[in-house]
Amino acid sequence: MKKSISIIFAAVAILTAGGAVAQDRLQTILDRGRIIVGTGSTNPPWHFRNEAGDLVGYDVDMGHLLAKAIFGDPDAVEYVVQTSDSRIPNVVTDKVDITCQFMTVTAERAQQVNFTIPYYREGVGLLLLKDGPYATHDDLVAAGGGVTVSVLQNVYAEEMVHQALPDAAVDQYESVDLMYQALNSGRAQAAATDMSSAMWFVAQDPARYAEAGYGWNPQTYSCAVKKGDPDFLHFVDIAFREAMTGVDFPTYAASFKQWFGVEPPSPQVGFPGELR
């Protein structure tokens, strides 16, 4: 018994001496004076460099939102630009406090990290030319095999397009640039792309582009934090919830409108809509 107690005290002493005693993530961030957010830099409207070289986008705004919630200062944030493959490893190894990088929630990933509440619901949309022959999804369906859809090359690409347009011809391209060029040149009458990308193109050039008003293949985007930080996860969830439904809604709505070209629905006073 005495030997067991000695071993326990020795282990505690080693952990304490090595600084390995767990500290609440939020307190660590407060002591540091900034939150460290992992994100990308090459995918508008999510994360990219503007003409001035500044990192901007919807994911980047999520970092500013959290900094404001923690410090009252939206600029109290440090961004770590990372690849998609680094999104989970950088969280797990404490290189970042949180990853916000258009990350799809899956059950497999949820075994490695904890996900926040969703901040976007992605899906596939149809980008059209404003002055093209078709204006809506219904128009495209009615045209049947007379429509050619450009899409990024993928083993499931043709099946995916046919879920929305069963009779359309499908042309696959090796890059998104070539896919959009096919639409712009008239080789395709629609481009099947991420709904967020379609909305971004329309927001940037509404005189040239339109979105067909139909989305499918939904997937959830959330930020990711390290497992074992439940208080921090709870705080982030509160910050996101109050941005999307409460006191910080004007800031959040301005970001959503800027990057996606539409205004999110205003939260209604009275019974909390998110509980319906």
> Long-range contacts for 116-119 (Cβ within 8 Å, ≥24 apart)?
116/222, 116/223, 116/224, 116/225, 116/233, 116/236, 116/237, 116/240, 117/222, 117/237, 117/240, 117/241, 118/220, 118/221, 118/222, 119/62, 119/221, 119/222, 119/223, 119/240, 119/244
pLDDT at 173: 97
Contact 195, 173 (CB under 8 A): no
**pTM, entire model:** 0.87
Which sign, positive or negative, has the C-alpha torsion 256, 260, 263, 267? negative
Residues 6+ apart with CB under 8 A from 79: 36, 37, 38, 39, 55, 60, 63
Which segments of the chain belong to CATH 3.40.190.10?
A: 23-119+222-262, 123-219
pLDDT at residue 2 tops 70: no
pLDDT tens digits along 103-162: 999 999 999 999 999 999 999 999 999 999 999 999 999 999 999 999 999 999 999 999
In CATH, what is the architecture of 123-219? 3-Layer(aba) Sandwich (3.40)
pLDDT at residue 249 tops 60: yes
Confidence of residue 275 (pLDDT cuts 50, 70, 90): confident
Cα 97 to Cα 18, 81, 143, 185: the distances in Å are: 21, 13, 50, 44
pLDDT at residue 18 tops 80: no
pLDDT tens digits along 192-241: 999 999 999 999 999 999 999 999 999 999 999 999 999 999 999 999 99
Residues 6+ apart with CB under 8 A from 220: 104, 105, 118, 120, 121, 122
Asked, as a colleague might, if the bond just before 45 is cis with ω within 30 of 0, I would say yes
pLDDT at residue 8 tops 50: no
Distance in angstroms (rounded) separating the CA atoms of residues 141 and 157 = 18
pLDDT at 17: 44
pLDDT tens digits along 169-184: 999 999 999 999 999 9
Confidence of residue 276 (pLDDT cuts 50, 70, 90): confident
pLDDT at 16: 41
Give the tokens for residue 188. Answer: 């395709």
What is the CATH T-level fold of the domain 23-119+222-262, as seen in this structure? D-Maltodextrin-Binding Protein; domain 2 (3.40.190)
pLDDT tens digits along 67-101: 999 999 999 999 999 999 999 999 999 999 999 99
Buried-state track 174-207, b at ≥16 Cβ within 10 A, e below 16:
eebeebbebbeeeebbbbbbbbbbbbbbbbeeee
pLDDT at 22: 55
Confidence of residue 1 (pLDDT cuts 50, 70, 90): very low
